[in-house]
Structure 1
Amino acid sequence: MSTLIFDFDGTIADTLETVFRITNQLAPRYGYRPTTPEQLAVLQDLNMQQILQKVSVAPWQLPFIVRRLSVELNREIGSIDLIPGMLSVLTQLASDHQLGILTSNTAGNVERFLQNHQIDTLFSFVHTGTRLFGKQRALQRIVRQYDLLLSNTLYIGDETRDVEAAHAVGVAAIAVTWGFNSYQALLAKRPDFLIDRPDQLLPIANQLELPAFQP
């Protein structure tokens, strides 16, 4: 049995458009530049540090912006959909594998979303509130807490920092192209797997030996 640990925003929950709109609404309050759709496409090729520099967000502002974003997202969580095709895949995966979530989103947002879509029982654990740059440590704690075998553990995410965290811990990274970062940005981090559709998770999870990703 493999353990699949999912990022939440952009990986399970289709939050990209909502987060984009909210962050633009918060721009005047926190003094950074709003982003046009064309500029968003450019940002999707960058990592988090480069994005913060590009939009002129000071590091000390980030926790306040993330906190406010979570509050605003909570107001709209009821209208946010699952990534298309994800429901069937999660249901199939949960029948043979252990599923978990690791996210920098809040517990309230994740719990409401999972309950709204009636998928809360599919997950064995949910770890929330992780700092944007703290996923490596959080992933290490999960591996220790649940005594996970590294070779049978996968971390699935839509950002370059998800791939970096997985590799730093020693678990396989599955990068998904339907979330925030672009195909090229994810490819540059050399994930073990790079997929375009949720159903591609099924054969990967059913492999006992995880081959290295070959671009």
Structure 2
Amino acid sequence: MKTVIFDFDGTLADTLENGIKIYNQLAKKKNLPLFTKKEKDLLRTQTIPQLAKTFQIPLYKVPLIVKQLRSLMLKNKIIAKPFIGIKPTLWQLKKSGFKLGIISSNTEENIDFFLEQQDLKNLFSFVSSEKNIFGKDKKIKKVIKKEKLAKKKVVYIGDEVRDIEAAHKAGISVIAVTWGFNSEKILQKYQPTKIVRDPKEIFNAVEEVFG
């Protein structure tokens, strides 16, 4: 079966603004640099290692910071909204016979909460979380093996450079979306299979990838 695997943050759910607010709360307690509007603009033009260097945060501390952010989001019951056009696109894919899944660095608890709030839970065959934000390629490989999927029949959809890199390492096609974390300009540099600029374009892009 042809399978479409989605990233969560910045692809399905608009979590950036809430993420920045929670990060700034954490930053005040941990003596980390705060994100202002200027820094927010930088987020879209740099990879995570580049951002860590820009803000003088040791790269080894980034996974722990992300873990703390995820915990705070769950604790505070942050309600994220789906990007406009995502819900009908998911239904269109499902009704057309595609198997849908999610692989994310966010927690399964946060993702399940979102899916339940948006009445989308039944659309997805699996939801898998990877705690290591730099280990998504390994998680993709594990899910492909567990779900008994053929790589040529799998496409990953994400909004970050690391999503493209993970899909390349896992040997599957990847569609990059421009409404999330990284800008179209930087996404293009990492050569995704396709780039889409609106959720309404996802369905046709998926069909083109699978031929």
* 1:163 CA drift (Å): 0.3
**In structure 1, what is the equivalent of residue 46 of structure 2?**
46
**In structure 2, what is the equivalent of residue 90 of structure 1?**
90
Counterpart secondary structure, 2:181: coil
**In structure 1, what is the equivalent of residue 206 of structure 2?**
205
Q: List aligned pairs for 1:109-128, cutoff 5 A.
A: 109-128=110-129
- State the one-letter code of the partner of 1:64: L
CA contact (8 A) 2:158 2:176 kept: yes
Counterpart secondary structure, 2:81: coil
Unaligned runs of 5+ in 2: none
**In structure 2, what is the equivalent of residue 193 of structure 1?**
194
In the alignment, the residues of structure 1 paired with residue 29 and residue 57 of structure 2 have an alpha-carbon distance, to the nearest angstrom, of 12
Q: Matched residues, percent identical?
A: 34
**In structure 1, what is the equivalent of residue 79 of structure 2?**
79
* 1:37 CA drift (Å): 1.2
Change (3 A) 1:61 1:30: farther
Quick check: 1:141 aligned with 2:110? no
What RMSD over aligned residues (CA atoms) do the two structures have, in Å?
1.5
CA contact (8 A) 2:130 2:139 kept: no
Per-residue Cα deviation, 1:155-197 (whole angstroms, up to 9, x for no partner):
0000000000001111111000010001111011111101011
Quick check: 1:28 aligned with 2:28? yes
**In structure 2, what is the equivalent of residue 19 of structure 1?**
19
* 1:146 CA drift (Å): 1.5
* 1:29 CA drift (Å): 2.1
In the alignment, the residues of structure 2 paired with residue 85 and residue 167 of structure 1 have an alpha-carbon distance, to the nearest angstrom, of 27
Counterpart secondary structure, 2:115: helix
**In structure 2, what is the equivalent of residue 2 of structure 1?**
2
CA contact (8 A) 1:174 1:193 kept: yes
**In structure 2, what is the equivalent of residue 65 of structure 1?**
65
Runs of 4+ that moved beyond 6 A: none
- State the one-letter code of the partner of 2:85: G
Unaligned runs of 5+ in 1: 211-215
In the alignment, the residues of structure 2 paired with residue 113 and residue 209 of structure 1 have an alpha-carbon distance, to the nearest angstrom, of 29
Quick check: 1:174 aligned with 2:175? yes
In the alignment, the residues of structure 1 paired with residue 37 and residue 194 of structure 2 have an alpha-carbon distance, to the nearest angstrom, of 28
Change (3 A) 1:118 1:28: same
TM-score (norm 1): 0.92
TM-score (norm 2): 0.93
CA contact (8 A) 1:175 1:186 kept: yes
Query: Which stretch shifts more, 127-136 or 52-61?
Result: 52-61
Per-residue Cα deviation, 1:13-57 (whole angstroms, up to 9, x for no partner):
110111111112211222221121122212311111111111122
In the alignment, the residues of structure 2 paired with residue 158 and residue 130 of structure 1 have an alpha-carbon distance, to the nearest angstrom, of 18
- State the one-letter code of the partner of 1:16: L
CA contact (8 A) 1:85 1:199 kept: yes
